């Protein structure tokens, strides 16, 4: 079933979950104007202590205070959104040129979609490893800037209140209910977590979470065991 997001000028509501992004959130908001066309930005602040909320307001975006998991944050942002299309974006992820047109074109035919992803400033061996893994990568995750029509979001019940892997679960339910497309355009997401926690350690940790979840391990156990950064 097509997403029914509306005409080519449908408004895109960008939902950004954030925690202590005071230094990066204003530039992230400003970049959206050049690539999305008609849009609004809702930043869901999970309890920042570094002035994130003030920076968001100064940048002209809306702030929703909502502690809790990323799933809870994104549902709260969606509840505040007024656009016919929802785009869930990490604060350290940059959309490509033409992103708005690509999202609107996809939602004219489908319920939702996402972008491919590239990381900034990763060592060459890890870029090769990511490229080799991509053909076997069937899941879609939050750093790929997931987008969905408002109708489809409501129809599948939004994000399940999972403490981890909520993005994978959401996309799996969308795929069962309707048509979903991963666009050939790439977003660029920061590799700051890999740099701060170690490339190999992060690769093993994330890979273990994905594998164990698919094997049926409880998301709550995984969240308690791995304590992913928000």
CA distance 3 to 148: 8
Q: How is residue 84 written in tokens?
A: 């016919």
Q: What is the pLDDT of residue 17?
A: 97
| Burial class (CB within 10 angstroms; exposed 0-12, middle 13-18, buried 19+) of 140 | buried
> What's the fold here for domain 12-192?
Spore Coat Polysaccharide Biosynthesis Protein SpsA; Chain A (3.90.550)
Rounded to an integer, the average pLDDT of 175-180 is: 89
Find the length of the chain. Answer: 230
Cα 103 to chain centroid, rounded: 14
Cα 69 to chain centroid, rounded: 13
Q: What is the pLDDT of residue 23?
A: 92
| Burial class (CB within 10 angstroms; exposed 0-12, middle 13-18, buried 19+) of 186 | middle
CA distance 199 to 159: 29
**15: closest CA among 89, 103, 79?**
89
Per the model's pLDDT, the better-predicted residue between 119 and 171 turns out to be: 171
**140: closest CA among 118, 111, 172?**
172
Residue 164 near residue 219 (C-beta atoms within 8 A): yes
Residue 109 near residue 179 (C-beta atoms within 8 A): yes
Per the model's pLDDT, the better-predicted residue between 47 and 226 turns out to be: 47
Element containing residue 27 per DSSP (H, E): helix 25-36
pLDDT in tens, 182-224: 999 999 987 555 444 555 676 677 777 878 888 888 888 888 8
Torsion of CA 198, 191, 130, 148, to 10 degrees: 130
pLDDT in tens, 112-132: 999 998 876 555 554 554 554
CB-CB neighbours of 34 under 10 Å: 11
Helix axes 199-214, 219-226, angle to 10 degrees: 160
Instruction: Provide the pLDDT confidence category of residue 39 given band limits of 50, 70 and 90.
Output: very high
What residue spans define the domains of the chain? 12-192
| Per-residue CA distances from 215 to 135, 198, 222 (Å) | 20, 26, 12
Tell me the HSE value of 159 on the side-chain side, using a 13 A CA sphere.
26
Instruction: Provide the pLDDT confidence category of residue 80 given band limits of 50, 70 and 90.
Output: very high
pTM for the full predicted model: 0.85
């Amino acid at each position: 079933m097509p997403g029914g997001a509306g005409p080519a000028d449908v408004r895109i509501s960008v939902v950004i979950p954030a925690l202590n992004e005071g230094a990066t959130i204003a530039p992230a908001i400003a970049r959206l104007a050049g690539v999305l066309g008609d849009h609004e930005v809702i930043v869901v602040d999970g309890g920042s202590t570094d002035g994130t909320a003030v920076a968001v307001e100064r940048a002209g975006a809306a702030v929703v205070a909502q502690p809790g998991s990323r799933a809870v944050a994104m549902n709260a942002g969606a509840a505040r959104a007024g656009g016919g299309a929802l785009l869930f974006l990490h604060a350290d992820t940059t959309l490509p040129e033409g992103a708005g047109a690509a999202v609107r074109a996809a939602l004219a035919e489908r319920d939702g979609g996402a972008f491919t992803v590239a990381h900034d400033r990763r060592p060459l061996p890890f870029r090769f490893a990511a490229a080799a893994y991509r053909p076997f990568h069937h899941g879609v995750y939050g750093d790929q800037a997931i987008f969905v029509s408002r109708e489809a979001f409501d129809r599948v019940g939004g994000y399940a209140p999972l403490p981890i892997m909520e993005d994978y679960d959401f996309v799996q339910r969308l795929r069962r209910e309707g048509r979903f497309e991963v666009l050939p355009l790439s977003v660029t997401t920061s590799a700051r977590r890999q740099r701060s926690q170690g490339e190999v350690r992060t690769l093993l940790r994330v890979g273990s979470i994905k594998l164990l979840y698919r094997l049926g391990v409880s998301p709550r156990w995984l969240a308690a065991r791995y304590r992913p950064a928000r």
